[in-house]
């Protein structure tokens, strides 16, 4: 009987403690896959026991460029050699640095972008990707 009384007493104590003290908290959150940055797994590719060692095509990802005058020139000319991700990856660069970068593409790397389009590309980069102008 003594044990029974003690048990009831302890249960009472437990309930009081549960009401007064929270030792830990549990929160459940619903997130969209995008919010979690979730990535789906790539399917394995079929391999043949021949001499040609191949992997699947390297994925090309969408790059969110600022809308504006000159965007089309970027997409046509810059895209020839590299992804426009080269632009969005950069920290905000000065207007002079952007001009130098575009000129380097023409003079050093032989991009041969027509003069008019070169100017449009420079103005676009300066209008959206300097410390003063960058928004995204």
Binding region for other proteins (CB under 8 A): 3-4, 7, 10-11, 13-15, 17-18, 21-32, 35-37, 39, 41-42, 51-61, 80-83, 85-86, 88-93, 97, 101, 108-112, 131, 134
Which residues fall within 8 angstroms of residue 81, CB to CB, at 6 or more apart? 105, 109, 111
Output 53 or 67, the one with its CB closest to other proteins: 53
What's the closest the beta carbon of residue 47 comes to other proteins, in angstroms?
12
Output 90 or 117, the one with its CB closest to other proteins: 90
Contact 69, 120 (CB under 8 A): yes
Output 7 or 76, the one with its CB closest to other proteins: 7
What's the closest the beta carbon of residue 12 comes to other proteins, in angstroms?
10
The closest of 126, 117, 79 to 99, measured between CA atoms, is 126
The C-alpha torsion from 103 through 105 and 106 to 109, rounded to 10°, is 140
What's the closest the beta carbon of residue 32 comes to other proteins, in angstroms?
7
Contact 74, 124 (CB under 8 A): yes
What's the closest the beta carbon of residue 70 comes to other proteins, in angstroms?
18
């Amino acid at each position: 009987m003594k044990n029974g009384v003690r048990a009831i007493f302890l249960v009472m104590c437990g309930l009081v403690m549960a009401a007064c003290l929270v030792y830990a908290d549990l929160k459940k959150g619903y997130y969209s896959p995008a919010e979690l940055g979730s990535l789906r797994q790539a399917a394995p590719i079929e391999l043949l026991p021949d001499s040609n060692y191949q992997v699947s095509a390297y994925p090309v990802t969408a790059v969110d460029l600022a809308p504006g005058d000159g965007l089309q020139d970027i997409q046509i000319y810059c895209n020839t050699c590299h992804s426009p991700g080269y632009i969005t990856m950069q920290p905000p660069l000065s207007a002079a640095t952007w001009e130098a970068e575009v000129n380097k593409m023409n003079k050093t790397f032989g991009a041969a972008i027509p003069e008019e389009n070169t100017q449009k590309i420079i103005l676009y980069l300066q209008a959206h990707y300097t410390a003063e102008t960058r928004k995204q």
